[in-house]
Amino acid sequence: MIKKVMAFITIGAFIVAASAFYGQEAVAKEVTLYKNPQCGCCESYADYLRENGFAVTVEPTHDLVPMSKKAGISEDFQGCHLAFIDDFVVSGHVPIDTVKKLLSERPNIKGVTLPGMPTGSPGMGGPKTGPFTIYQIGDDQPTIYTTE
C-alpha cells in the first residue's frame, strides 16, 4: 500500500514539475468559441486549439458582428469567429504562438485579432502566402501586436 501511495505521489510530482518546466498549467485553459453555425473552418480552429491543450466549447450564433463590436473589435478588424480565453478575446484564426504569448505576457489589452480568413492560417486550408498581421484590441484603434 505504501509503495502505491509513493508511486502516486512521485507521478503527481512529475506532472507538476513537467507542467512548470513547459510553462503550461496541468489543466487545460477553457475557451468559449462563438461561430456562425455553418462555418467549418471555425470548427477546424476549435480542433486546432484542442490539439494545443485547450478545452474548447463551441457556441453557434448569428450574432458575431455585434458580439465582436461589444468586445471592442471594429468591423474592419473582425475575424471569422470570436473566442474568449481567460480575460482576453481572440478573434479569427490566430496562431497558437500568439495565443500563448498573449496568455503568458498578459498585456493590458482586450485581446488580439487576425482579420478575415487568411489562407494558410490555423483552421484554414491552403498554403501560407506571407506573414499574418495580428492586431491588439484596446480602447483605441487596433495596432499591430505581432506578425507571424
Give how far Cα 8 sits from Cα of 5, 18, 122, Å.
5, 15, 38
Indicate the CATH number for domain 25-147.
Answer: 3.40.30
| pLDDT score, position 55 | 97
Q: Is 0.85 topped by the overall pTM?
A: no
Query: Considering the chain, what is the average pLDDT of its residues?
Result: 86
User: Which of 17-26, 70-79, 87-96, 97-106 is the least confident region?
Assistant: 17-26
Write out pLDDT tens, residues 6-54: 344 434 444 333 444 444 445 679 999 999 999 999 999 999 999 999 9
**What DSSP character marks residue 116?**
B
Q: Which position has the higher pLDDT, 120 or 19?
A: 120
Q: Pick the closest to residue 108 from 142, 75, 77, 136 (CA basis).
A: 136
Domain boundaries, the chain: 25-147
